[in-house]
Amino acid sequence: MKVGIIGSGGREHAICQTLKNSNKIDKIFCFPGNAGTKEIAENININLENFENIKNFVFEKKIDLIVVGPEKPLVEGLVDYLESFNIKVFGPNKVASQLEGSKIFTKKLCEKFKIPTAKFGIFENKDSAKEFLKKTKFPTVVKADNLASGKGVYICNEKSEAVIAINEIFDGKFGKAKNLLIEEFLQGEEMSFFTIHDGNTFKTFDTAQDHKRVLEGDMGKNTGGMGAYSPSRLINKDLENKIINKIIKPTLMGLANLGTNYKGFLYTGLMIVNNEPFLIEYNVRMGDPECQTILPKLKTNLVEILLACCEGKLNQFKIEWLNKKSLCVVVCSKGYPEEFNKNVEIENINKIILKEGDFLFHAGTIKKKDKIYAIGGRVLNFITISENLKSARENILKNLEKLNWSGGFYRKDIGYKVIDK
Ligand code: AMP
Ligand code: GLY
């Protein structure tokens, strides 16, 4: 069969590689992919906002299944559009994608179904938001409602910072803002919890611990993710049951009340406070770099799982995993998450020799005449699966020394709360 993957990040290279391992797949197309996917699939440069072009390409190449990686095309309704032409697509529809596309949509759902989350207020203009600050405790969290690539969240330690956040959001920094959220700051440890859904049933799809801050020791600015390990050190059966019963099941009920259901990966971003889960956010996709961290442990054939989801047959499936730990270190362009140079050659990448249990997934890379260049903020993902996280990280750091890329940097302390305690 033929599969198409939408997206160009590390997540999509990991999905591409995992699908490639299946003997059921003859050809993979990546829209637009990166230098890593180019080695195992055909990269197609197509405007992802032009749904009609995507549909025409799917018909022309007789693609059997489309897998959507990133949130933007999901929130914009690509799944609904392609399904209206009877194309098989793995990913949630436009209504369900509001779980990520609108923080206010999700908060209202939490309110209606008593889902544990930070207390919040919704404000429609600068004055009412600033008035509320007079009785707010700090730190507090100010959030833009719409998709902002992870940048629309301000953790404010004092009133002046919250005023700047309110001004920036209403002045249109993240697009036209009708309203914003101010919420209580939750003190705890974050965890990424994944489930996979077929519209009727769902199964857990492992957990991971992302490292969002740019500097070691979880300092500095927020990023898309500097590394991860899986499974999370926080997960246990009791916590898993609470997440499913208090958060995920009521959410699915809320979607059912709106006349829809959920198909695809669901990423539940949680704050864990004394073994109690609080919903921070939903993402309607796999996490990045969590996806790169988790997929190497998957034993069951991914394409069979995705097809079962598209056909509503997930309940007949047992998803099996290797009993291993996985760790991922992300290599970024110097300067990220601020300004960085593009088209910087990654000179030594061909010197990296992957052993069994090692994986190298590309993100912002491009290949030109046998050379690989960095074109994004997050560039490469090094993963090792092992009996323990310490040896996985040591192995990755050795590979990174060999890479010795002058244009990049990475955190050497991924997993420190478990490994270096
Ligand atoms: P979000 O885009 O909603 O996931 O927020 C980005 C990051 O901000 C999260 O991963 C958390 O680290 C932090 N954050 C968001 N909301 C809260 C909250 N209510 N309390 C503490 N930290 C938060
Ligand atoms: N790792 C965070 C995200 O994918 O949003």
Summarised one tens digit per residue, pLDDT across range 212-238 is 999 999 999 889 999 999 999 999 999
Q: Is 76 left (phi over 0), alpha (psi -120 to 50) or beta?
A: alpha
Helix, strand or coil, per DSSP, at residue 87: coil
Which pairs with CB-CB distance under 8 Å and at least 24 residues apart come from 387-395?
A: 387/324, 387/325, 388/325, 389/229, 389/325, 389/327, 389/415, 389/418, 389/419, 390/419, 392/229, 392/325, 392/326, 392/327, 393/327, 393/329, 393/419, 395/355, 395/358
Q: Judge whether residue 302 has pLDDT over 90.
A: yes
Residue closest via CA to ligand 1's atom 4 equals 281
Closest-lying ligand to the alpha carbon of 221? 1
- Strand order of the sheet with strand 120-123? 120-123, 180-184, 140-144, 153-156
Q: Which tokens belong to 330?
A: 């992300």
* Å from CA of 413 to ligand 1 middle: 21
Average pLDDT over residues 353-368: 97
Integer CA distances (angstroms), 417 to 390, 391, 410, in order: 11, 15, 17
**Class in CATH terms, 2-92:** alpha beta
Amino acid letter at 79?
Answer: V
Same fold across 2-92 and 119-184:
no
Indicate the burial class of 49 (C-beta count within 10 angstroms; 0-12, 13-18, 19 or more).
Answer: exposed
Ligand 2 centroid, distance to 283 Cα (angstroms): 8
pLDDT tens for 134-178 read 999 999 999 988 887 767 889 999 999 999 999 999 999 988 888
- Ligand 2 contact via 227 beta carbon (within 6 Å): no
- Cα(225) to centroid(ligand 2), Å: 6
* Nearest ligand atom owner, CA of 291: 2
CATH of 325-419, one of 3.90.600.10, 3.40.50.2020, 3.40.50.360, 3.40.50.970: 3.90.600.10
pLDDT in tens, 29-64: 999 999 999 999 999 999 999 999 999 999 999 999
Cα 71 from Cα 391, distance rounded (Å): 34
| CA distance linking residue 15 with residue 352, whole number of Å | 21
Q: Is 27 exposed, middle or buried (0-12, 13-18, 19+ CB in 10 A)?
A: middle
- Residues 393-413: pLDDT tens digits? 999 999 999 999 999 999 999
Model pLDDT, residue 41? 98
Question: Distances from the Cα of 232 to the Cαs of 245, 270, 290, 326, in angstroms?
Answer: 19, 12, 11, 10
- The CATH number that domain 189-316 falls under is 3.30.470.20
The CA-CA-CA angle for residues 139, 225, 120, to 5°, reads 30
Determine the distance separating the centroid of ligand 2 and the alpha carbon of 14, expressed in angstroms.
14
Every domain of the chain and the residues it spans = 2-92, 119-184, 189-316, 325-419
Q: 287 CB under 6 A from ligand 2? A: yes
Nearest CA to ligand 2 atom 4: 287
Residue 132 CA to ligand 2 centre (angstroms): 30
pLDDT, one tens digit per residue, over 259-292 is 999 999 999 999 999 999 999 999 999 999 999 9
Atom number in ligand 1 closest to CA 269: 4
Answer yes or no: is the C-beta of 210 below 6 A from any ligand 2 atom: yes
Confidence of residue 389 (pLDDT cuts 50, 70, 90): very high
Task: Using the mean position of ligand 1's atoms as its centre, give its distance from the Cα of residue 174 in Å.
Answer: 17
| Average pLDDT of span 307-321 | 96
What pTM, to 2 d.p., does this model score? Answer: 0.96
Nearest CA to 100 among 257, 230, 281, 296? 281
Ligand 2 atom closest to the CA of 286, numbered from 1: 4
Cα–ligand 2 centroid distance for 289 (angstroms): 7
Question: Across residues 289-309, what is the average pLDDT?
Answer: 97
First to last CA, the chain: 47
Q: Identify each DSSP E strand in 189-258 by its residue range.
A: 189-198, 202-210, 213-215, 219-222, 227-230
**Nearest-ligand number for the alpha carbon of 230:** 2
Nearest atom, ligand 2, residue 290 CA: 1
- From 267, 270, 285, give the residue whose CB has the most ligand 2 atoms within 8 Å, as the site to mutate: 267
Is the shortest distance between the CB of 64 and ligand 2 below 6 Å?
A: no
Contact 266, 106 (CB under 8 A): no
Q: Which ligand is closest in space to the CA of residue 282?
A: 1
**pLDDT digits over 122-137, tens only?**
999 999 999 999 999 9
> Is any ligand 2 atom within 6 A of the Cβ of residue 225?
yes
Closest Cα to atom 5 of ligand 2: 287
Q: Which residues line ligand 1 (CB under 6 A)?
A: 118, 141, 150, 153, 155, 183-186, 190, 212, 222, 269, 280-281
pLDDT in the model for residue 145: 86
Q: What is the DSSP letter of 199?
A: S
**Cis, peptide link before residue 32, omega less than 30° from 0:** yes
For the domain covering 119-184, report its CATH number.
3.30.1490.20
Give the model's pLDDT for residue 234.
97
**How far is 5 from 29, CA to CA, in rounded Å?**
6
Dist CA 71 CA 67 (whole Å): 12
Cα torsion for 321, 322, 326, 331, to the nearest 10°? Answer: -80
Percentage of residues in the chain having pLDDT higher than 70: 100
- Burial of residue 142, with CB atoms counted within 10 A of its CB: 0-12 exposed, 13-18 middle, 19 or more buried: buried
Is 90 exceeded by the pLDDT of residue 380? yes
- Which has more confidence, 147 or 195? 195
